[in-house]
Structure 1
Amino acid sequence: MHIQHSFSAGTELSKAKKVLIMIHGRGGSAEDMLSLAQSLHVEDYALLAPQATHNTWYPYSFMMSPSRNEPWLSSALKILKDVVDGVIKEGIDMENIYFTGFSQGACLTLEFLARNAAKWGGAAAFSGGLIGDKIYMENYQGNFNKTPIFISSSNPDPHIPLERVYTTIDILKDMQADVSEKIYDNKGHFISQDEIDRANRIIFI
């Protein structure tokens, strides 16, 4: 099970009007994600980056049955909920809470948001999709009320099937998210400058 441990940067939470929650990928770290913030238009945000135990949110591919990734998956989702609840307790409205994640972190971000659809500030998911060997619609509820969400990936991507990316986009749109997507031919599994630029134009404006 994950231990709640988050790194912070940017504006002090008690003084911030906006918060960005940053979720690292498999083998990555909270510090990696916080360094990404230097390229995003989030100068006035409080930045929070939870750290996964052993640098991995769940052990197997996000395309496996969720039960195979338990109890780590549920623990990871709870970590994210606890971070959000802590931000809300500081008086930050949900409309001013933003998310970003890469790879496994993008999958976790999208899964959390689909399970807790509401009017959030926005989200940028770099190389990710909803979690599971199939789509479990019974897990997803709420209305995004036009929350802007940017999703990007490569075609092909060694970890993220393009079909799942498109399925994720369709589901989020059905839940009333304002989804923008960009699929890059043969980009590879990393965050490109163009993805950062698009996230800044669409989400962090």
Structure 2
Amino acid sequence: MSSLVRFLFSFAAAVAAASLLAVSLRRRAPPSLVASQLVPAPMATDRNRSFVLWLHGLGDSGPANEPIRNFFSAPEFRLTKWAFPSAPHSPVSCNNGIVMPSWFDIHELPMSAGSPQDNSGVLKAVENVHAMIDKEVADGIHPENIFVCGFSQGGALTLASVLLYPKTLGGGAVFSGWVPFGSSVAERISPEATKTPIMWSHGIADKVVLFEAGQAGPPFLQNAGLSCEFKAYPDLGHSISNEELYSLESWIKNRLKASQQKEN
């Protein structure tokens, strides 16, 4: 099989996984919350308000991932604001330069632990994510009530954004992602950022972002002084399962409870 055929197969698998994820979420998500439950009350205290930012994968879009929030029905999310931004359209090297939604350039698929990285592109994307976070902080949401989550390329951007943010955030959740930069960028991690907890989920059967790329995450984070909860899913390919999303809900909920107790 030629390298072009292998690439086309891997790329098609990535796009198909993103499409199946959106369809699965629409079909299997529990009943959605009413809009009034998702909008923070104007008189709510800063400590009770929260913000969840979700970053999609390569070739996907923010609106296609909005059903994810239907999994978060606990009372702690009553004052949660959600954001599902879409990546800008740009040429992607692993797709022969074809323009598509992408947070930064990807040089090859499948992604392995030793794949080349687009450090400059990642840092530019991180600036945009930080601007979104800064806007919510300026609006009165406590940084420890802000959570950044993402799938695949969005998971890699989630990790970079949380590690390079100058304040401690509520947490970063990585799904089927990878470490998107080298040691030179890692040296910029601030002491406050090392206090942000990381949740990492990865399917062992992932053929797009190989499991080895996910496995490289916890040791990297440990060396940087961060804690990481890593969970492997034996039969999961390059997609997100309902089980992962319910685990994410519980993980964020517990941190919101702790934040509210601290305020009280």
Shared fold (TM-score, shorter chain, > 0.5):
yes
C-alpha RMSD over aligned residues: 2.5
Could you tell me which residue of structure 2 aligns to residue 77 of structure 1? 126
| Contact 2:106/2:117 (8 A) holds in 1 | no
TM-score, normalised via structure 2 length:
0.64
Three-state SS of the structure 2 residue aligned to 1:191 is coil
Identity of aligned residues (%): 25
Look up the equivalent residue of 1:165 and give its one-letter code.
Answer: G
Partner of 2:26: none
Measured at CA, do residues 183 and 40 of structure 1 come closer, stay the same or move farther in structure 2, by a change above 3 Å? same
In the TM superposition, 1:147-166 aligns within 5 A as: 147-166=196-215
Aligned to 1:28: 60
Unaligned runs of at least 5 residues, structure 2: 1-34, 90-100, 255-264
| Mapped pair 1:108 → 2:143 | no
**Larger fraction in strand:** 1
Q: Which moved more, 1:143-152 or 1:108-117?
A: 143-152
1:98-142 Cα deviation digits (max 9, x unpaired): 11111110100001112226421122211112103x444324333
Shift of 1:12: 4.2
Question: In 2 relative to 1, CA 79–15 (structure 1 residues): closer, same or farther, beyond 3 Å?
Answer: farther
The structure with more helix, counted as a fraction of residues: 2
For the Cα contact (< 8 Å) 1:117–1:175, is it kept in 2? no
Contact 1:11/1:45 (<8 A) preserved: yes
Matched residue, 2:117: 65
- Count of aligned pairs between the two proteins: 193
8 Å CA contact 2:148, 2:158 repeated in 1 = yes
Shift of 1:43: 3.7
Deviations 1:3-36 (A, max 9, x none): xxxxxx7214866611111111111111123221
Distance apart, 1:171 and its partner CA = 2.9
Shift of 1:153: 0.6
* Residue 180 (structure 1) shift: 1.2
Establish whether residue 11 from structure 1 lines up as the match of residue 47 from structure 2. Answer: no
Q: Which residue of 2 aligns with 1:46?
A: 81
Is contact 2:41-2:79 (8 Å) kept? no
Question: Is the Cα contact below 8 Å between 1:100 and 1:109 reproduced in 2?
Answer: yes
Mapping of residues 82-97 of structure 1, within 5 Å: 82-97=131-146
**What amino acid maps onto 2:163 in structure 1?**
A
In 1, the alpha carbon distance for the partners of 2:41 and 2:65 equals: 17
Instruction: Work out the CA distance in 2 between the residues paired with 1:18 and 1:158.
Output: 34
Alpha-carbon distance between aligned partners in 1 of 2:210 and 2:202, rounded to the nearest angstrom: 9
Could you tell me how far apart the structure 2 residues matched to 1:139 and 1:48 are?
Answer: 26
Based on CA coordinates, which of the two structures has the bigger radius of gyration?
2
Of 43-52 and 103-112, deviating more is 43-52
CA distance in structure 1 between the partners assigned to 2:116 and 2:220 by the alignment: 19
1:45-103 residue CA offsets vs partner (Å, 9 max, x unmatched) = 01122221122112314732325xx4x43331111011011011111111111111111
> How far has the Cα of 1:165 moved from its partner?
2.1
